[in-house]
């Protein structure tokens, strides 16, 4: 089969070759003139025009003799590649059979990290539908915003998370296409329907540029942004960072904390191991102690988590036998030099730092082994290019702090969102990070260039927290910022003006914190609250968050 060259690789989105009968995704892509420049500079990135990423992943693994190898391990069960493929195929039959979905329909997925959640995501893609994974901690209001923006057609939800899902205002047709999994397997569950389906399913003959994944990230305004990714994008992230930097092997066992609904976790804990026929360990509700114990138990060789976890694991590491661990990847927030050094002293392992973005799907700047330079995130991953732009969009040389700009085989395509114009400039993806490059081409993180708060690896939009606080009867107005924190990188700090009749107190602080946890995902709550008599504003009434940061 003829593969395109770097210069001829098609970015066409005419839809003429699409396998989809539901054209929602293509019709809601941004105009192609607003796309970033896509580059396919490596031979391994030249994919055929017809591509289903799940079929490609399993065809490669099975051809390499992985059928009997363990593909995924969970707390209660493990599946070989052949067994996982059977689960995926049975779910795909349910989607296209009893659920009556058509190619191009969107399926919202809700579940913690476990083998069944992994099988559901992969089945949606293999069946020619579009996966819309959601974080387990999201509340009904947040889920409703995502469901509405993606105009979902069905839901696959873990039984343990069904209560919050049932509180979402969904159209009757979607409610009728909602199935739960992971419960007792009662009539009407996903497992019950799977049991009577065939054990094999032919992957839908999708185009390489058919959308298969809509991943949501909070914008700095608090309004969720859906990032749209193609089947070829899924393969591209598997053939860049893990191949060139991580150097993944079939003998590896991957483990970590990021949710599969977070592209950092989807790649690092599922797609990357599948690409090389390795093993993925998928565990729920990990703490630093239980992650170390799991590394010991499963003899994990590769770990993905945020700096916060490494910082907390370092003083505990000598209590566990983690000698199997060979590579540790940090991303999701800036990696402090002190954390990198404490982890090295505790384990002898040099941290592989990296920066990625939901808009580009995974890590695009990193370094490993002898290429690591203390304090630097690294260099562009092969397949990607990066530079620093000034305020006017012009590239600047070494030693100048500016806006990080990236391009490669993946890039930002927001779902029907005007913010596409802000993220893409002259073909570059602007990540919202301020970086500095040295004379050797290493990139150093300096700060965020927007109002996004990054705490323990989570992206949190200040305005979303403000909106939740303003729903409390005691709050007149508020401003939320990120405050530097040694343990979490940043914490959410709320500056609150109370309504008459309410007095500041520790009790009210606790009440507001618990109120926010009930409104939005608990990790977004303000860990610090300051009570003010007034907020700093411009003459036109605009909140001056920079003044809150400098107080």
d(CA 376, CA 398): 13
> What DSSP string runs through 479-528?
EEEEEEETTTEEEEEEEEEEPTT----HHHHHHHHHHHHHHS-GGGS-SE
Model confidence at 1: pLDDT above 70: no
d(CA 389, CA 399): 12
Tokens of 146: 């995502």
Tokens of 253: 């066992």
DSSP 224: E
pLDDT of residue 333: 79
Model confidence at 109: pLDDT above 90: yes
Q: Which overall architecture, per CATH, does domain 453-550 show? A: 2-Layer Sandwich (3.30)
Tokens 């400098």 — which residue? 550
Whether residue 254 contacts residue 278, with contact meaning beta carbons closer than 8 Å, is answered with: yes
The mean pLDDT value for 159-179 works out to: 96
Model confidence at 4: pLDDT above 80: no
pLDDT bracket for residue 8 (50, 70, 90): very low
Average pLDDT, the chain: 93
d(CA 126, CA 337): 42
Strand order, beta sheet including 78-80: 78-80, 70-73, 279-281, 253-256, 302-305, 327-330, 352-356, 363-366, 379-380
Beta strand pairing status for 327-330 and 352-356?
parallel
Q: Which long-range contacts (CB under 8 A, 24 or more apart) does 66-69 make?
A: 66/250, 66/277, 69/250, 69/277, 69/279
User: What is the tens place of the pLDDT at every residue in 400-459?
Assistant: 989 999 999 999 999 999 999 999 999 999 999 999 999 999 999 987 777 789 898 888
Domains in the chain: boundaries: 453-550
pLDDT bracket for residue 477 (50, 70, 90): confident
* Helix, strand, or coil (residue 384): coil
* Residues 6+ positions from 413 with CB-CB distance below 8 Å: 29, 30, 35, 227, 228, 229, 420
* Beta bridge partner(s), residue 497: 477
The overall pTM is greater than 0.85: yes
d(CA 517, CA 295): 31
Percent of the chain with pLDDT over 70: 96
* Residues 6+ positions from 547 with CB-CB distance below 8 Å: 536
d(CA 320, CA 545): 44
d(CA 251, CA 123): 25
The residue count of the chain comes to 551
Model confidence at 290: pLDDT above 80: yes
C-alpha distance from residue 78 to each of 83, 193, 324 (Å): 9, 21, 20
User: What is the tens place of the pLDDT at every residue in 199-208?
Assistant: 999 999 999 9
User: What is the tens place of the pLDDT at every residue in 63-84?
Assistant: 999 999 999 999 999 999 999 9
User: What is the tens place of the pLDDT at every residue in 506-544?
Assistant: 999 999 999 999 999 999 999 999 999 998 875 445 678
Model confidence at 399: pLDDT above 60: yes
């Amino acid at each position: 089969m003829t593969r395109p060259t770097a210069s001829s690789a098609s970015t066409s989105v005419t839809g003429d070759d699409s396998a989809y009968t539901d054209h929602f995704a293509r019709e809601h892509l941004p105009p192609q003139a607003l796309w970033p420049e896509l580059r396919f500079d490596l031979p391994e990135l030249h994919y055929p025009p017809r591509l289903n990423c799940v079929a490609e992943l399993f065809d490669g693994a099975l051809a390499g003799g992985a059928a009997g190898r363990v593909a995924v391990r969970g707390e209660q069960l493990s599946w070989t590649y052949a067994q996982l493929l059977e689960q995926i195929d049975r779910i795909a039959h349910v989607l296209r059979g009893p659920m009556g979905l058509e190619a191009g329909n969107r399926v919202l997925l809700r579940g913690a990290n476990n083998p069944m959640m992994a099988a559901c995501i992969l089945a949606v893609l293999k069946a020619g539908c579009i996966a819309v994974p959601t974080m387990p901690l999201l509340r009904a209001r947040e889920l409703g915003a995502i469901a509405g923006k993606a105009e979902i057609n069905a839901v696959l939800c873990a039984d343990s998370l069904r209560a919050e899902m049932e509180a979402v205002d969904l159209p009757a047709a979607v409610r009728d296409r909602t199935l739960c999994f992971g419960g007792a397997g009662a009539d009407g569950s996903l497992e019950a329907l799977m049991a009577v389906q065939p054990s094999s399913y032919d992957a839908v003959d999708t185009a390489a540029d058919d959308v298969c994944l809509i991943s949501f990230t909070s914008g700095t305004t608090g309004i969720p942004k859906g990032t749209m990714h193609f089947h070829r994008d899924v393969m591209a992230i598997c053939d860049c960072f893990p191949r060139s930097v991580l150097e993944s092997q079939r003998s590896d066992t991957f483990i970590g904390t990021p949710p599969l609904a977070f592209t950092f976790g989807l790649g690092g804990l599922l797609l990357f191991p599948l690409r090389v026929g390795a093993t993925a360990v998928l565990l729920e509700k990990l703490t630093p102690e239980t992650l170390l114990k799991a590394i010991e138990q499963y003899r994990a060789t590769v770990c993905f988590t945020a700096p916060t976890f490494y910082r907390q694991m370092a003083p505990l590491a000598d209590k566990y036998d983690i000698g199997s661990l060979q590579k540790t990847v940090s991303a999701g927030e800036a990696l402090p030099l002190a954390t990198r050094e404490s982890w090295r002293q505790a384990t002898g392992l040099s941290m592989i730092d990296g920066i990625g973005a939901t808009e580009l799907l995974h890590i695009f700047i990193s370094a490993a082994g002898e290429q690591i330079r203390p304090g630097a995130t690294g260099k562009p991953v092969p397949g990607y290019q990066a530079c620093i732009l000034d305020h006017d969009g012009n590239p600047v040389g070494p030693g100048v702090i500016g806006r990080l700009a990236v391009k490669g085989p993946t890039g930002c395509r927001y779902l029907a969102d005007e913010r596409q114009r802000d993220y893409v400039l002259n073909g570059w993806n602007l990540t919202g990070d301020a970086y500095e490059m040295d004379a050797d081409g290493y990139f150093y993180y300096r700060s965020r260039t927007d109002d996004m708060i990054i705490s323990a690896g989570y992206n949190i939009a200040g305005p979303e927290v403000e909106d939740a606080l303003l729903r409390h009867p005691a709050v007149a107005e508020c401003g939320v910022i990120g405050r530097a924190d040694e343990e979490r990188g940043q914490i959410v700090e709320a500056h609150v003006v109370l309504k008459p009749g309410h007095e500041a107190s520790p009790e009210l602080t606790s009440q507001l914190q618990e109120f926010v946890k009930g409104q939005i995902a608990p990790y977004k709550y303000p860990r610090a609250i300051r009570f003010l008599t007034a907020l700093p504003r411009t003459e036109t009434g605009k909140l001056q968050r920079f003044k809150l940061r400098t107080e």
